[in-house]
Amino acid sequence: MIVMKFGGSSVESGEALLRLTGIVKSQIEAMPVVVVSAMGNTTNRLIELSTEAQRGHSYFAWKQLKDLQEQHLTEAGKVISGKAWERLEASVRKHFRDLHLTMLEIADEGRELTPALHDEIVSYGERISSEIVASAIECAGVPSVHLDARQVILTDDRHTRATPLYWQTYARLRRAIPRLCPQGVVVMGGFIGGTERGVTTTLGRGGSDLTATLVGAGIAADEIQIWKDVDGMLTCDPRVCSAGFRLTSISYDEAAAMARAGAKILHPESVQPAIRQRIPIVLRNSRNPEIGGTRISAAAGPCANPVKSIACKQNLTVLEIRSRDAQSSASLVASLRQLCERQGTQAEFVGQTGEVVYFGVKSSDRFDDLHTELERCVEVRLRPNVAVISLIGSAPSARTLSALKDIREVAIASSGDGLALSLIVAQADLKRSVELLHREFFRQLDPAIFAAVHAETPVAVPGTQQPAAPVTREQRVRLLLTLPFSR
């Protein structure tokens, strides 16, 4: 059995749903269990609607809910027909009626928008999309069965960021899914769960990946596939530097380090269930299913390149704290983490160089209560408007700093796990810094680990001459347009 998780962009339209059903059908012999996110930006829109309802804007909430309902029905109607459509349309309209009543209770009757109610509202995104996907698979000629994830993904009651109750969840998954599989492809929503009392919870943003690995671990899957709109894990964020390559394989620890360092492709905690069960995770592109993607497993094999990937976190404020000694540094980091948790703030970065601790949070967060934790420190320096660049692998410090010799101010720190070397630079220098580092560490590539982002662009293997790709008519036109005019 395998688990196939599809993100929001993989279910956002009728065309995306057609691609999804084709991918599922192509692997039907592997007995897939399908986990899906909400369609497109549905979760964000539901959060916005809740906020407007809380302000008493009931008409706005009704109008936006109506638009959201029609969007779901329009896209679903492109691929679903017959009795499956009749059942689905009735169910979707009921879900939106229930949402409308909830919004009226908030806007007109003053019902408090508690974290529990927030989870109930945003859960509709995955509940509706999973029903749509199940119906789409059925209309593609493959039997399917819908499973409400809240019945099998058990969590604690920490709403908006619930923690799974792992062993209870695995037990429920082992009972439910093998019983349903003979009826067809099991489809369920990601991101959502429920307490033992049946109250709806959510796993936090990106939690659909965690759902997929929970399901995989629960049923002892042979493989967990995460289908997104990118070719796999890349050597750099394409929004920062467009010169990246695809990693064909990477270890669990390296993937987790990339996620902690800011790579958005995986939920930071999503690999943990797979690690415990030693289940490989494969990242694939639903828009480009012929690409092999990135395989994440216990060991990725040797690599000639010292750096596997460059990840970054932007718009941070970093506290540079010089402590009295190494022991007090460790105690200080623990105290600061606890303080952030009490304030509902997340530590975005923690690094250390000797007795200097670097502690980063979002620039929008406040520091009013930090002074009590910092009284015993020798020196504290505030670095506002910075970015943290992390080199995943074993980057030599001297070579790294040499590559950034033209960047005016760089601080260097190592992570506690030894998997990343981190650099603190001004936010304005982020793009240039990443480009310089990428040029330095990816001039030559180990072809066993790296591949081109696009299949038609071969990776240059050191010592070999690659054949020139044929020039298309579009490329010839672009070339002519860039030539200077002749007189």
Per-residue model confidence as pLDDT tens digits over 328-366: 666 777 777 777 777 667 788 888 887 788 888 887 766
Q: What is the mean pLDDT of residues 433-456?
A: 89
- Strand spans (E) along 287-355: 294-297, 307-322, 349-353
pLDDT tens digits for range 115-129:
999 999 999 999 999
Percentage with pLDDT > 70 across the chain: 87
- The strand pairing partners of 194, in sequence order, are 154, 200
312 and 413 in a single domain? The answer is: yes
pLDDT tens digits for range 186-211:
999 999 999 999 999 999 877 899 99
Least confident among 170-179, 205-214, 218-227, 279-288: 205-214
84 and 222 in a single domain? The answer is: yes
- Is pLDDT above 50 for 464? no
Asked if residue 253 is part of any domain, the answer here is no
Asked if residue 276 is part of any domain, the answer here is no
Q: What is the mean pLDDT of residues 217-226?
A: 96
Q: What is the pLDDT of residue 373?
A: 58
Question: Cα(283)–Cα(476) distance, rounded to whole angstroms?
Answer: 34
67 and 203 in a single domain? The answer is: yes
CATH number for the domain that contains residue 44: 3.40.1160.10
Q: Which residue has the higher pLDDT, 475 or 399?
A: 399
> How does residue 419 score in pLDDT terms, banded at 50, 70 and 90?
confident
Q: What is the pLDDT of residue 357?
A: 84
Asked if residue 467 is part of any domain, the answer here is no
- Is pLDDT above 90 for 221? yes
Q: Which of 232, 295, 302, 285 is nearest to 452 (CA)?
A: 232
Quote the number of domains for the chain.
2
| DSSP annotation of 394 | -
Q: What is the pLDDT of residue 358?
A: 87
Q: What is the mean pLDDT of residues 451-460?
A: 58
313 and 205 in a single domain? The answer is: no
199 and 341 in a single domain? The answer is: no
- Is pLDDT above 50 for 469? no
- Is pLDDT above 90 for 99? yes
210 and 351 in a single domain? The answer is: no
User: In this structure, how many other beta carbons lie within 10 angstroms of the beta carbon of residue 151?
Assistant: 13
Q: What is the pLDDT of residue 339?
A: 74
Question: Cα(132)–Cα(365) distance, rounded to whole angstroms?
Answer: 39
Task: Please answer whether residues 113 and 154 qualify as being in contact, where contact means their C-beta atoms are separated by less than 8 angstroms.
Answer: no
- Angle, CA 188 vertex, CA 185 and CA 192 arms, to 5°: 165
428 and 318 in a single domain? The answer is: yes
Percentage with pLDDT > 90 across the chain: 67
CATH number for the domain that contains residue 407: 3.30.2130.10
Q: Which residue has the higher pLDDT, 98 or 350?
A: 98
Q: What is the pLDDT of residue 278?
A: 93
Q: What is the pLDDT of residue 401?
A: 93
Question: Cα(434)–Cα(424) distance, rounded to whole angstroms?
Answer: 12
- Name the phi and psi angles at 201, rounded to 5: -135, 165
User: In this structure, how many other beta carbons lie within 10 angstroms of the beta carbon of residue 311?
Assistant: 28
Q: What is the pLDDT of residue 354?
A: 77
pLDDT tens digits for range 105-161:
999 999 999 999 999 999 999 999 999 999 999 999 999 999 999 999 999 999 999
Q: What angle, 0 to 180 degrees and rounded to 10, lies between the N-to-C axes of helices 42-54 and 82-109?
A: 30
Task: Give me the half-sphere count of Cα atoms (radius 13 Å) on the Cβ side of residue 482.
Answer: 6
Question: Cα(130)–Cα(299) distance, rounded to whole angstroms?
Answer: 33
Give the contacts of 364 (CB within 8 A, at least 6 positions apart).
none
Asked if residue 182 is part of any domain, the answer here is yes
Q: What is the pLDDT of residue 482?
A: 34
pLDDT tens digits for range 234-267:
999 999 999 899 999 999 889 888 988 888 777 7
Q: What's the order of all strands across the beta sheet hosting 32-36?
A: 144-147, 185-189, 32-36, 2-6, 223-228, 281-285, 294-297, 249-251
97 and 206 in a single domain? The answer is: yes
Q: What is the pLDDT of residue 215?
A: 97
H helix runs in 362-442, sequence order: 371-374, 397-403, 430-441
Tokens (6 digits) for 58: 């009931």
- Is pLDDT above 90 for 307? yes
Q: What is the pLDDT of residue 480?
A: 32
pLDDT tens digits for range 56-76:
999 989 999 999 999 999 999
Task: Give me the half-sphere count of Cα atoms (radius 13 Å) on the Cβ side of residue 478.
Answer: 5
Averaged confidence pLDDT in the chain: 87
Q: What is the pLDDT of residue 332?
A: 73
Question: Cα(292)–Cα(178) distance, rounded to whole angstroms?
Answer: 28
> How does residue 484 score in pLDDT terms, banded at 50, 70 and 90?
very low
- Is pLDDT above 70 for 270? yes
219 and 314 in a single domain? The answer is: no
Domain extent at residue 429: 307-441
Task: Please answer whether residues 217 and 280 qualify as being in contact, where contact means their C-beta atoms are separated by less than 8 angstroms.
Answer: no
The secondary structure element, H or E, covering residue 319 is strand 307-322
Question: Cα(220)–Cα(129) distance, rounded to whole angstroms?
Answer: 25
Asked if residue 263 is part of any domain, the answer here is no
Asked if residue 311 is part of any domain, the answer here is yes
Beta strands 2-6 and 223-228: pairing type? parallel
Q: How many helices (H) and strands (E) does the chain have?
A: 14, 18
Asked if residue 71 is part of any domain, the answer here is yes
